[in-house]
Amino acid sequence: MTMTDEPIGHALELHRAEPLLPMAPTEAAAVMRAYQDTCRAILTRDDTQRVGDREFTTRSGFQKLAAAYGVSTEIVRVDVNWEEVWEDSERFEVMIARAVVRAIHPSGRHAEGDGACSSREKRFRKGDEKMDHSLPATAVTRATNRAVSNLVAFGTVSAEEVEGSLGTGGPAGLAPLPDWAAHMSDDSIKVIANNLTRILKAAGVEDTAVRVNAIGQEIFDLCDGGFPFALARLAKLMADAVEPRKTDAYTDEELDGEAVEDNNDQEKDA
């Protein structure tokens, strides 16, 4: 049979494209729980860094996550240039390194992350003999962290990236938390737990210790490792409503003072 004998469209088959649908809510929740469980299992305090009033995962933490998920990384591009920037009507010549890194899962799925580092960042203002190396190395670190985060960590921001954003030469710094969102101190956690216990007992719950720990952990996970003042106040108000106040519970003024004082300290650190 010659080409002219072949019926037109004989080998052509049309297939209707299936719509792209998200995973089921229960499956998505399971994926998130698995990620959180993995973080708790492999990350230590050495893998986090406090910047301002929040804690962020460091390079070592993202390296552990990459290893846990079998993720490899490769540098796509690194550029270092002198650029002119203006700050407060002053002109500066700034060396800026920019990098793009790709994170690759064994399944073939991949994600890219970008990172930058400027000689105007606080750590470099006093000079650095190894500036030509330090800037691109830091940019690559930030890009690697972001690539791994984009692939397996739901876009979590790294400590190195946040640290570079504070002060002149980077994006806008993190604003301090308002008083109602300030994290309560470690000393006040026992009082909060006591108020939660009072509420649960009044509701007829028996194994209160387990329930209180579960509630506390849930709040910590949702609120970046802290218990916000507003929720602590809510627990106290509810406990007082269902049971007369006990002597070891904080007064309104003490709760207010503790949270505001903590927030002021955090603003000074930032």
Digit-coded pLDDT (tens) for 183-224 = 787 778 888 888 889 998 888 888 888 888 888 888 877 776
- Is the pLDDT confidence value at 255 over 70? no
Backbone dihedral angles phi then psi of residue 252, each to the nearest 5 degrees: -60, -45
pLDDT one-digit tens code per residue, 224-241:
677 888 888 888 888 888
Looking at per-residue pLDDT, the higher value among 224 and 69 belongs to 69
**Other beta carbons within 10 Å of 82:** 9
Phi-psi region of 225 (alpha: psi -120 to 50; beta: other; left: phi over 0): left
**For 153-157, what is the mean pLDDT?**
69
pLDDT at 267 over 70: no
Residues in Cβ contact with 169 at an 8 Å cutoff, skipping those fewer than 6 apart: 85, 94, 118, 119, 120, 121, 122
100 close to 77: Cβ distance less than 8 angstroms: yes
Q: Which pLDDT does position 132 carry in this prediction?
A: 86
* Beta strand residue intervals within the chain, DSSP E: 48-51, 54-57, 72-87, 90-104, 110-118
Residue 111 · residue 150 · CB < 8 Å: yes
Q: What are the C-alpha distances in Å from 58 to residues 10, 68, 129, 263?
A: 58, 16, 24, 23
pLDDT recorded at residue 140: 94
What span, in angstroms and rounded, lies between the C-alpha atoms of 183 and 260? Answer: 9
d(CA 65, CA 60): 9
- pLDDT for 167 equals 44
The answer, yes or no, to whether residue 168 has pLDDT greater than 60, is no
